[in-house]
Structure 1
Amino acid sequence: MFNFNIEFTGEFVAFFLLAVCAIVGAVLAINFTKVVHMALSLAFTFISLAGLYVLLGAEFVAFVQVLLYVGAITILMIFGIMMTKHDGEGQEPARPLLETLAAIGCLCLFGILFYGIRSAEFPAEAASLPADNTLEIGKLLFTQYAIPFELVSVLLTVAFIGAVALAKREEDPQ
């Protein structure tokens, strides 16, 4: 069951480092108390995930990950933090029993997932992938999925204009 014959290649080392960075960034995003630090650690996690996508050969997904999540979502979160008013709210009291139960639950979930992944048998790859997957995605976006692609762009533009209008309306009563 525990077959740990691991070949230490450059790809394995890069995967291990990127996976550790993604996990550390996610844990820090949960544990930081300042919201700006949370947003920055979340951006660090997103960059690590983009690196994992590159290792998987999904360059387009990695590019979109960096462009949308690291760029747009993180900046949007920081703007949202800067636009809102923060009153000094107190810290929650420590609950050691709840934290202990949460840690035990996390360890149980990790054990179940570890066992499930190690005992699963994945089928062999059925079809060959294209040599340049970014080119194939581009062809599909601009031929078969052109109308949904344009509808999503219109929807995002309308959402952006609505957000600006809402922010401007809140500023007016001075």
Structure 2
Amino acid sequence: MPANPFARPSQEAATSVRFEAEVLPWLDAAYNLARWLVRNDADAQDVVQESLLRALRYFGSFHGGDARVWLLAIVRNTCYTLHARHAPEGRHASLDDEALALPDDCPSPEALTLLAVDVGSLRQALERLPPPLREMIVLRELEECSYKEIATVTGQKIGTVMSRLARARERLRAELSHPTTEAGRHDVR
């Protein structure tokens, strides 16, 4: 009986199973990083899709270790590669209500309003950071990567990661503590 020409070789099947087990659990982290770097939902989805294709294509070069860090490095590089080719720097994505949705813990309307203002202010301040500083905050604070993992993702030394993260936090703090000129015009003094 001849072999089935449509059957995948066992090595390819094993690689596919290993890829699904090691890389696919980190899809949310990949999308989160892509979303903050490209600042657009549709573009972030495209970046993640392209990153997964690249990750699958080069999965043979992944020799164990932290698959999350490996995938995040691919996402970061894909973001910057595609961004350099296609997108102008001045693009901004609108904030959608789903991203600001709060868990149903029944807080008061006043508490909801204050929290929405805080979350909105934080999102806007994070959006205003330059991409290298924004990526540091996203990787450390949102994705909870260690300094070593961030260094691996970004291809930088740990000292550089630490100094950029310190500058990013300081810049974010300054962005949050200084009202924008629009808000300043409406302040009652």
- Does the alignment reach a TM-score above 0.5? no
Tell me the TM-score normalised to structure 1 length: 0.31
Tell me the TM-score normalised to structure 2 length: 0.29
Q: Which has the higher contact order (CA 8 A, sep 6+)?
A: 2
Larger Cα Rg: Structure 1 or Structure 2?
Answer: 1
